[in-house]
Amino acid sequence: MEFTIKKITSPEKLQTGILVLGVFTDGKLPPSSRAVDEASQGRLARLIAHGELDAKPGAALLLHGLAGVAAERVLLVSLGQSDSGAPGDKAWRDAFAAAGKALAATPAKDGAIALDGETLPPGRGLDWALRQASRIIADSAYRFDAPRTEKKEKGAKKERGARKIAFALSAATVADRALEDAVRQGQAIAEGMALAKDLGNLGANICTPAHLADAAGALGKQFKFKVDILEREDMEKLGMGAFLAVARGARRSPKFIVMQYHGRHGRGDKAHKDKNADKDKNGRPRPVALVGKGITFDSGGISLKPGAEMDEMKYDMCGAASVIGAFKAIARMELPIDVVGIVPATENMPGSDATRPGDVVRSMSGQTIEILNTDAEGRLILCDALTYAERFKPDCVIDIATLTGACIVALGKIPSGLLANDDALAEELAQCGAAAGDPVWRLPLWEEYQDLLKSNFADMANIGGRFGGAITAAAFLSRFAKAYKWAHLDIAGTAWVSGEAKGSTARPLPLLAEFLLARAAGGEQPH
């Protein structure tokens, strides 16, 4: 999909396959819609007055051959009511999601979207709007290339969807390189999301630990960043007893993937002004480390899961997919920031050599763990990854994991769970999540929860009992993250959707991208 910015004075004269206009359903028309309405002798206003367009933000009405208008089709998208002023973030995104869906389904080869300043959410700038819009529209065009039987039939339907999209801005808009960068950034984030979705949607027989390693390696070659793959023997030498305990029951070999993106070299001193980042002994800001859970299939191990919906356990590597996808996005954007990506990847299977409930293992940190439930495996692979991250002297570490069903019970499937040992980092992530439309909700991580992890036979147990499961899982991880500022994102409820639309969402990649964009810009929050 190709995006451009086009400055116009008369949207009604714009020749395009489909022109998208945002409108308020109480009759108020933004400038672009008003110009088209006047050219069509009030047709838009009459349709809205007669209730042809639902008031709910994101409702859409497609018009063909509108008199007085050069566009072949005009799509009206509801922004809701105007009595409360400009639309909020959600209403605005709902409108663009509807536009993206229509653009992905249209037979038109090109389209244009009229962007009016008065329709932007309060406090949001045009660069934010263009980044979000290009990401949402490009993501709407995503289709998983499922392996199906090929059918070559006469008269087969032609591929639909506009491939060239122009953002039509007022000619009075000041020329700004930042606007072009914003469009490019949105498209890069969508590319990273597409990769994350592809990895998540693949069957676990294809997306194995080795496949994740190959995907990371291919990205490293494409964008020229360093990728190291540690094998079982390397992990044994490092003492990763917790990670290897999970991998014991699987026939496929585990992989420990380490990606290092150095975006500051040759980019001047801008990135060194990052007010959030401490400096290392050479005066360079410390890297951000992203750690993604990579269980490519989770049977539960000896503590076997119920059979219902077990197929969805192929999505237990979505944390890993979001980290790999984020690396594609930041490399495509050429962000001036240093980032380390760590992905411990394995299957969790009930093989003859599988770890048993009651086994005690020693983690890379030296702390011992009594494994009471082998289905609480994510924290076991992550704890060794968090210890490994110390060697990079990170400014902060964010781990991303489909970790607990308890998080879904607590928060549903709207926000991801957020727990952290640093208030400023937690607030930074929350603001970036709000800016990206990828929300998080913070849960407490009080010291009292640590008592639930007591064990008679080791330093800790790997589960904390029936209550507060999302919190005790994070409390477990916090014991391995004392050397740096750390945040944990539990994406068990947000990484994929079930039902008819089953598939990966690529969350929380939009949040991560906004966070890294802000860090690369010197810590300024997106707006």
Residues designated catalytic: 305, 379
Residues 6+ apart with CB under 8 A from 366: 239
Helix (H) or strand (E) holding 288: strand 288-292
Residues 6+ apart with CB under 8 A from 80: 24, 25, 55, 56, 57, 87, 91
For 236, the 3-state DSSP assignment is helix
Task: For residue 398, list its beta bridge partners.
Answer: 290, 487
DSSP string, 332-364: HHT-SSEEEEEEEEEEE---TT---TT-EEE-T
Distance from C-alpha of 289 to C-alpha of 389, rounded to nearest angstrom: 7
**Quick count: other Cβ atoms within 10 Å of Cβ 501?**
8
What amino acid is encoded at 194 in this protein?
A
Distance from C-alpha of 268 to C-alpha of 35, rounded to nearest angstrom: 45
Q: Are 419 and 406 in contact (CB under 8 A)?
A: no
What amino acid is encoded at 278 in this protein?
D
Instruction: Using the Cα atoms of residue 507, residue 513, residue 514 and residue 515 in order, give the sign of their dihedral.
Output: positive
**Quick count: other Cβ atoms within 10 Å of Cβ 25?**
21
Q: Are 322 and 512 in contact (CB under 8 A)?
A: yes
**Quick count: other Cβ atoms within 10 Å of Cβ 269?**
8
Query: β-pairing, 255-262 with 226-230?
Result: antiparallel
